[in-house]
Amino acid sequence: MEVVKSSFFIVLFHFISLDSTAASPPCQGALGSYTRNQDGSLGGFVASTAQVLTDREQRNIPYIEHTVEICDSASIGGNAQLIGNVKVSDYAEVSGDTWIYEYARIFGNAQIYGNAQVSGNSEVSGSAEVYENARVFESARVYGFAQVYGDAVISGNVRVSEKARIFGSARIFGSAKIFGNAELADEVKVFGKNKVSGKSLSCSSFLNYLKCFDFEG
Protein backbone atom coordinates (compact mmCIF):
# COMPACT_ATOMS: atom_id res chain seq x y z
CA MET A 1 0.00 0.00 0.00
CA GLU A 2 2.84 2.35 0.86
CA VAL A 3 4.44 1.68 -2.54
CA VAL A 4 1.23 2.68 -4.38
CA LYS A 5 1.07 5.98 -2.48
CA SER A 6 4.68 6.80 -3.35
CA SER A 7 4.09 6.10 -7.04
CA PHE A 8 1.02 8.35 -7.02
CA PHE A 9 2.94 11.29 -5.55
CA ILE A 10 5.83 10.82 -8.00
CA VAL A 11 3.46 10.89 -10.98
CA LEU A 12 1.57 13.91 -9.59
CA PHE A 13 4.82 15.83 -9.07
CA HIS A 14 5.89 14.98 -12.63
CA PHE A 15 2.72 16.53 -14.11
CA ILE A 16 3.02 19.65 -11.95
CA SER A 17 6.64 20.11 -13.07
CA LEU A 18 5.69 19.85 -16.73
CA ASP A 19 2.89 22.37 -16.31
CA SER A 20 5.06 24.90 -14.49
CA THR A 21 7.66 24.97 -17.28
CA ALA A 22 5.21 24.90 -20.20
CA ALA A 23 5.17 28.68 -20.65
CA SER A 24 8.32 30.71 -20.07
CA PRO A 25 7.89 34.14 -18.44
CA PRO A 26 7.89 37.14 -20.81
CA CYS A 27 11.24 38.84 -21.46
CA GLN A 28 13.10 36.00 -19.72
CA GLY A 29 11.53 36.90 -16.39
CA ALA A 30 12.45 40.59 -16.45
CA LEU A 31 10.57 43.01 -14.21
CA GLY A 32 7.72 44.78 -15.94
CA SER A 33 3.97 44.90 -16.38
CA TYR A 34 1.19 44.45 -18.89
CA THR A 35 -0.09 47.58 -20.57
CA ARG A 36 -3.68 48.65 -21.18
CA ASN A 37 -4.65 49.61 -24.74
CA GLN A 38 -6.76 52.66 -25.54
CA ASP A 39 -9.77 50.45 -26.29
CA GLY A 40 -9.55 49.00 -22.78
CA SER A 41 -8.12 45.65 -23.83
CA LEU A 42 -5.20 44.08 -22.00
CA GLY A 43 -1.93 45.02 -23.68
CA GLY A 44 1.37 43.23 -24.00
CA PHE A 45 4.18 42.84 -21.51
CA VAL A 46 6.58 45.78 -21.26
CA ALA A 47 9.79 45.39 -19.28
CA SER A 48 10.48 48.11 -16.74
CA THR A 49 13.52 49.16 -18.80
CA ALA A 50 11.55 49.47 -22.07
CA GLN A 51 9.33 52.36 -23.20
CA VAL A 52 5.92 52.81 -24.79
CA LEU A 53 5.73 56.42 -25.93
CA THR A 54 2.61 58.55 -26.47
CA ASP A 55 2.28 62.24 -27.25
CA ARG A 56 0.62 64.74 -24.92
CA GLU A 57 -2.50 65.01 -27.07
CA GLN A 58 -2.92 61.22 -26.98
CA ARG A 59 -3.22 61.21 -30.77
CA ASN A 60 -0.40 58.72 -31.30
CA ILE A 61 -0.91 55.68 -29.13
CA PRO A 62 0.60 52.28 -29.99
CA TYR A 63 -1.60 49.19 -29.88
CA ILE A 64 0.15 46.23 -28.26
CA GLU A 65 -1.69 42.92 -28.14
CA HIS A 66 -1.47 40.94 -24.88
CA THR A 67 0.80 38.26 -26.43
CA VAL A 68 3.49 40.77 -27.41
CA GLU A 69 6.76 41.22 -25.47
CA ILE A 70 8.65 44.51 -25.31
CA CYS A 71 11.95 43.75 -23.61
CA ASP A 72 15.26 45.27 -22.55
CA SER A 73 15.59 48.91 -23.68
CA ALA A 74 13.30 48.69 -26.70
CA SER A 75 10.88 51.54 -27.43
CA ILE A 76 7.49 51.61 -29.14
CA GLY A 77 5.87 54.85 -30.31
CA GLY A 78 3.59 56.50 -32.85
CA ASN A 79 0.56 54.48 -33.94
CA ALA A 80 2.51 51.24 -34.19
CA GLN A 81 0.36 48.09 -34.18
CA LEU A 82 1.98 45.02 -32.61
CA ILE A 83 -0.13 41.90 -32.90
CA GLY A 84 0.49 38.20 -32.32
CA ASN A 85 3.60 36.67 -30.78
CA VAL A 86 5.84 39.60 -31.63
CA LYS A 87 8.96 40.32 -29.61
CA VAL A 88 10.88 43.60 -29.66
CA SER A 89 14.09 43.63 -27.64
CA ASP A 90 17.55 45.07 -27.04
CA TYR A 91 17.59 48.73 -28.22
CA ALA A 92 15.21 48.30 -31.13
CA GLU A 93 12.73 51.05 -32.00
CA VAL A 94 9.30 50.72 -33.59
CA SER A 95 7.33 53.86 -34.43
CA GLY A 96 5.17 55.60 -37.02
CA ASP A 97 2.20 53.73 -38.51
CA THR A 98 4.01 50.43 -38.66
CA TRP A 99 2.47 46.97 -38.36
CA ILE A 100 4.50 44.22 -36.66
CA TYR A 101 2.62 40.95 -36.41
CA GLU A 102 2.58 37.15 -36.25
CA TYR A 103 5.99 35.89 -34.97
CA ALA A 104 8.22 38.76 -36.08
CA ARG A 105 11.33 39.59 -34.06
CA ILE A 106 12.88 43.05 -33.92
CA PHE A 107 16.12 43.35 -31.94
CA GLY A 108 19.59 44.82 -31.77
CA ASN A 109 19.51 48.50 -32.77
CA ALA A 110 17.01 47.92 -35.57
CA GLN A 111 14.50 50.62 -36.46
CA ILE A 112 11.08 50.12 -38.04
CA TYR A 113 9.14 53.28 -38.93
CA GLY A 114 6.96 55.01 -41.49
CA ASN A 115 4.28 52.63 -42.84
CA ALA A 116 6.51 49.57 -42.87
CA GLN A 117 5.25 46.06 -42.10
CA VAL A 118 7.20 43.14 -40.62
CA SER A 119 5.45 39.80 -40.19
CA GLY A 120 5.64 36.02 -40.38
CA ASN A 121 8.80 34.57 -38.83
CA SER A 122 10.93 37.40 -40.16
CA GLU A 123 13.65 39.17 -38.18
CA VAL A 124 15.11 42.65 -38.37
CA SER A 125 18.24 43.13 -36.29
CA GLY A 126 21.66 44.74 -36.04
CA SER A 127 21.44 48.38 -37.13
CA ALA A 128 19.07 47.62 -40.00
CA GLU A 129 16.20 49.94 -40.94
CA VAL A 130 12.86 49.13 -42.55
CA TYR A 131 10.73 52.16 -43.35
CA GLU A 132 8.36 54.01 -45.67
CA ASN A 133 6.05 51.36 -47.23
CA ALA A 134 8.47 48.44 -47.21
CA ARG A 135 7.35 44.92 -46.24
CA VAL A 136 9.41 42.11 -44.75
CA PHE A 137 7.62 38.81 -44.21
CA GLU A 138 7.71 34.99 -44.19
CA SER A 139 11.20 33.97 -42.94
CA ALA A 140 13.24 36.87 -44.30
CA ARG A 141 16.15 38.38 -42.35
CA VAL A 142 17.38 41.97 -42.56
CA TYR A 143 20.47 42.78 -40.52
CA GLY A 144 23.83 44.54 -40.41
CA PHE A 145 23.38 48.12 -41.68
CA ALA A 146 20.96 47.12 -44.41
CA GLN A 147 18.05 49.37 -45.39
CA VAL A 148 14.75 48.34 -46.91
CA TYR A 149 12.43 51.17 -47.87
CA GLY A 150 10.20 52.68 -50.53
CA ASP A 151 7.71 50.01 -51.68
CA ALA A 152 10.25 47.18 -51.54
CA VAL A 153 9.11 43.68 -50.54
CA ILE A 154 11.40 41.08 -48.95
CA SER A 155 10.03 37.57 -48.43
CA GLY A 156 10.83 33.86 -48.40
CA ASN A 157 14.19 32.98 -46.87
CA VAL A 158 15.92 36.09 -48.20
CA ARG A 159 18.91 37.51 -46.34
CA VAL A 160 19.70 41.22 -46.67
CA SER A 161 22.81 42.27 -44.78
CA GLU A 162 25.89 44.48 -44.46
CA LYS A 163 25.21 47.84 -46.20
CA ALA A 164 22.80 46.61 -48.85
CA ARG A 165 19.88 48.87 -49.82
CA ILE A 166 16.60 47.61 -51.24
CA PHE A 167 14.15 50.31 -52.30
CA GLY A 168 11.73 51.49 -54.97
CA SER A 169 9.44 48.62 -56.00
CA ALA A 170 12.11 45.91 -55.77
CA ARG A 171 10.95 42.37 -55.00
CA ILE A 172 13.41 39.96 -53.36
CA PHE A 173 12.20 36.44 -52.65
CA GLY A 174 13.21 32.77 -52.58
CA SER A 175 16.56 32.21 -50.87
CA ALA A 176 18.39 35.18 -52.37
CA LYS A 177 21.22 36.84 -50.45
CA ILE A 178 21.82 40.56 -50.88
CA PHE A 179 24.88 41.95 -49.12
CA GLY A 180 27.94 44.17 -49.37
CA ASN A 181 27.06 47.57 -50.84
CA ALA A 182 24.50 46.19 -53.27
CA GLU A 183 21.63 48.48 -54.31
CA LEU A 184 18.43 47.13 -55.84
CA ALA A 185 15.52 49.36 -56.79
CA ASP A 186 12.48 50.02 -58.98
CA GLU A 187 11.03 46.94 -60.70
CA VAL A 188 14.03 44.68 -60.03
CA LYS A 189 13.24 41.10 -59.08
CA VAL A 190 15.78 38.76 -57.48
CA PHE A 191 14.78 35.21 -56.68
CA GLY A 192 15.97 31.62 -56.32
CA LYS A 193 19.33 31.10 -54.61
CA ASN A 194 21.01 34.08 -56.24
CA LYS A 195 23.64 36.17 -54.50
CA VAL A 196 24.17 39.86 -55.13
CA SER A 197 27.05 41.64 -53.41
CA GLY A 198 29.26 44.70 -53.53
CA LYS A 199 28.39 46.99 -56.42
CA SER A 200 27.92 43.93 -58.62
CA LEU A 201 24.42 45.08 -59.42
CA SER A 202 23.06 48.57 -59.00
CA CYS A 203 19.66 48.90 -60.63
CA SER A 204 17.56 52.03 -60.89
CA SER A 205 14.72 53.48 -62.95
CA PHE A 206 16.41 53.12 -66.32
CA LEU A 207 16.55 49.36 -65.81
CA ASN A 208 12.85 48.88 -65.15
CA TYR A 209 11.55 45.33 -65.08
CA LEU A 210 15.03 43.86 -64.95
CA LYS A 211 14.97 40.35 -63.56
CA CYS A 212 18.17 39.12 -61.94
CA PHE A 213 18.78 35.41 -61.81
CA ASP A 214 21.60 32.85 -61.94
CA PHE A 215 23.94 35.64 -60.90
CA GLU A 216 26.63 35.77 -58.25
CA GLY A 217 28.58 38.98 -57.71
Domain boundaries, the chain: 26-118, 127-217
Check residue 204 and give its pLDDT: 39
Check residue 59 and give its pLDDT: 73
In whole angstroms, give the CA distance from residue 142 to residue 158. 8
Check residue 69 and give its pLDDT: 98
Q: What is the CATH number of domain 127-217?
A: 2.160.10
Closest CA relative to residue 190, chosen from 206, 207, 176: 176
Check residue 29 and give its pLDDT: 95
Q: Rounded to whole angstroms, what are the CA distances from 145 to 43, 93, 154?
A: 31, 15, 16
Check residue 195 and give its pLDDT: 74
Main-chain phi, psi angles of 27, to 5 degrees: 55, 40
Low-confidence ranges of the chain (pLDDT < 70): 1-22, 57-58, 198-217
Check residue 57 and give its pLDDT: 66
Check residue 160 and give its pLDDT: 96
Main-chain phi, psi angles of 192, to 5 degrees: 70, -145
